[in-house]
Copies of this chain bind each other. A is one copy, B any other.
Amino acid sequence: MAVSRSKQKSSEETRSALMDSAARLFREKGYDSTSLKDLALAVGVSPSAMYWYFPSKNDLLYSVIKRTLHRFEDGMTQALTKADDTPPSRLAAFVRYYVETQLSGSSEVAAYSYVYATGHMLDRLPDASRAELRDIERRIFHFVRGTIEQGVSEGSFATDYAGTTALAIIGMCEHVQTWFRPEGRDTVEDIADRYAGLCLSMVGHRDDRR
């Protein structure tokens, strides 16, 4: 039972291949503009094969967004354990992680994306699913705002608008994927570092390197 070797792929493979392709295609072309034919062609199965793994195209969308958000949150938690336990360090680590997932996702199989999905995709889900996924988004926002507030009360940050600033930071991170081109002269790390610096300026961090 080690490796499956013939024409029939071992179920898990096809299922995750479908989700991977859906993540990329939904992101690139949008949910409605991605037909089951597109999806099937990318995976190498017939359009109706999807219905073995998911009850509907809409449910596939739900599964994909859910997996994406959970992956983002898990990766974020892990990235934060490597950072110092101070607001500036944690905030910078968050931004770096955010930018990196956005930009590696745009050229690789696993397409991470956080608020992006919010645009039009979440609207296609039933109320309960949408609420569940927005909750994950909310947790991420609360982390950013909370970190800023903590920095302010400790004296390392200076801003009167932690919430608005948190949203602005998320906005600029989310946006990188619309313009970044891997063939350009800036690397992903370049952008991640600059964005981390920008976000420290935004929260009024004292000892800026300049």
Let me know if A94 is at the binding interface, CB within 8 A. Answer: no
**Contact between chains at A178 and B30 (CB < 8 Å):** no
User: CA separation between A195 and B33, bound complex, in Å?
Assistant: 34
User: CA separation between A195 and B169, bound complex, in Å?
Assistant: 11
User: CA separation between A164 and B191, bound complex, in Å?
Assistant: 8
User: CA separation between A195 and B172, bound complex, in Å?
Assistant: 12
**Contact between chains at A194 and B33 (CB < 8 Å):** no
**Contact between chains at A115 and B178 (CB < 8 Å):** yes
Closest Cβ of chain B to A120, distance in Å, is 5
Our pick among B30, B186, B195, B204 for the contact of A210 (Cβ within 8 Å) is B204
Closest Cβ of chain B to A94, distance in Å, is 15
Let me know if A167 is at the binding interface, CB within 8 A. Answer: yes
Residues of A within 8 A of B (CB): 29-30, 32-33, 115, 118-120, 123, 158, 161, 164-165, 167-176, 178-179, 186, 191, 194-195, 198, 201-202, 204, 208, 210
Q: List 18 A-B contacts (CB under 8 A).
A: A29-B120, A30-B120, A115-B175, A115-B178, A119-B178, A158-B210, A161-B194, A164-B195, A165-B194, A167-B175, A167-B179, A168-B175, A168-B195, A171-B174, A172-B172, A175-B175, A201-B204, A202-B202
